[in-house]
Structure 1
């Protein structure tokens, strides 16, 4: 399903984008983003031939997409503060809007309403991106390599009062090994937060389930459907081989709460966007793609992580552990 910012974005957000953006008119072919580098902001395509490709572990290259008007790139690197997973090439005659990193950081600190619209828009884009990857990524053999810097990204964004609300509002559920939480096309009544165990994510192809990834403690399930109101039920099958414990947040109650509090909405949608970005990245890395990005990350020592990042990682773990303790020994 195509994603077009000019059709999806709120008018106030579009006005902000046009106000802060630098217009890039491409006269000769150029590389806007180099895989493994850190791009200087986001790019919105207005017109032209824009291609996305990623490097493979065997030295080859895979074309991921040809972009159209309204497409957005560069958001994954910005959200996660990690190297780009793909290169972006622009052909002659292309025109793009570049949102500078300085403008993104400025709005992140001062404009909760516009900022929550931006994070929600990015989350919607990434939800469609992950859904698109699900359709083909299973055709490539998975590696045994564990993704780098796996952290509780959602809880790194939430505050203690947000987690307390989740504890009050969530309905506890326990599944044993072999249980199915969702099948493709099922109605998805809420958003599921995984407290313990591992859920397997798969799609149905030729009558059989093909694994496309997994979700672990601290991650969400059902967010693809929540972010895409046009979705006809669950986007994937979700079951467990080991058993899981989770909380279900009712979609209608969650929506009303977020609409009433732009600051909470900003934190929530930023966390979901970062989680989806991490999931998309992990899918590529686990199939031997984004090789230049992987090499770039291996060169980054943990000691180079900023104090703010380390503090966020530590706080995320404490908040999540507190939430889990509220449901210890609870019947599901």
Structure 2
């Protein structure tokens, strides 16, 4: 069982961030997030720095901490802009195929970079962590795919799909709250 510190209770979750980090951090335990923070490198990137090249192999997962990153097509058209709480390079962790897009830093971009090699060692050595991490990754990638297909008109609905208040369980709210607190702790830890 996770315990929430008094400091955690004072941090009000940012709803926009909460939706982004919900998918990953809500499935992980506090010690998982601590391991990620201890084993990743916090890096700031100058504007235009390419962290993932088109048609390349990716060797790290990036947790966006600040600023934004642009995902670009092969002809340098922006596909999407990713901001804090997003994850980059997660697809290459499970599928080592060459990339079909590039990723470049925008102003104020900072990320926690965790090498695939280090992460795979942890996944191989710690089955409970692996189960939580892969489940979190699956939920995250599924949500991203739904959003992408809706953006391009596949499965479009007449109204935006937002859960109704009566559909949101207390468990979901608690998980979302814990996820936002974990992200806030990760941000504070990386700032020091």
Instruction: State yes or no: 1:283 paired with 2:148.
Output: yes
Instruction: State yes or no: 1:297 paired with 2:161.
Output: yes
Q: How many angstroms does 1:279 deviate by?
A: 1.2
Instruction: State yes or no: 1:177 paired with 2:40.
Output: no
Give the SS at the match of 1:213: strand
Q: Deviations over 1:195-244 (max 9, x none)?
A: 1222111220xxx2122223222222112222113x13x33200133331
Q: How many angstroms does 1:323 deviate by?
A: 0.6
Residue 163 of structure 1 corresponds to: 33
Instruction: State yes or no: 1:150 paired with 2:14.
Output: no
Residue 259 of structure 1 corresponds to: 124
Residue 321 of structure 1 corresponds to: 184
CA distance in 1, matches of 2:58, 2:160: 38
Structure 2: where are the runs of 5+ without partners?
A: 1-15
CA distance in 2, matches of 1:171, 1:280: 28
Q: How many angstroms does 1:267 deviate by?
A: 0.7
Give the SS at the match of 1:323: helix
Greater helix proportion: 2
Residue 213 of structure 1 corresponds to: 80
2:24 and 2:140 in contact (8 A); partners too = yes
CA distance in 1, matches of 2:94, 2:80: 19
2:67 and 2:106 in contact (8 A); partners too = no
Structure 1: where are the runs of 5+ without partners?
A: 1-146
Give the SS at the match of 1:177: coil
Q: Deviations over 1:135-161 (max 9, x none)?
A: xxxxxxxxxxxx9x9341101111000
Larger Rg: 1
Q: 1:193 aligns with which of 40, 53, 63?
A: 63
Give the SS at the match of 1:327: helix
CA distance in 1, matches of 2:88, 2:121: 19
Residue 144 of structure 1 corresponds to: none
Q: 2:170 aligns with which of 288, 302, 307?
A: 307
Q: How does 1:63-142 map to 2 (within 5 A)?
A: none
Greater strand proportion: 1
Q: 2:104 aligns with which of 210, 216, 239?
A: 239
Task: Tell me the TM-score normalized by structure 1.
Answer: 0.49
1:171 and 1:247 in contact (8 A); partners too = yes
CA distance in 1, matches of 2:102, 2:183: 25
Q: Which has the higher contact order (CA 8 A, sep 6+)?
A: 2
CA distance in 1, matches of 2:67, 2:166: 30
CA distance in 2, matches of 1:226, 1:186: 13
Q: Deviations over 1:247-269 (max 9, x none)?
A: 11121121111111111111101
1:160 and 1:319 in contact (8 A); partners too = yes
Task: Tell me the TM-score normalized by structure 2.
Answer: 0.81
CA distance in 1, matches of 2:30, 2:169: 22
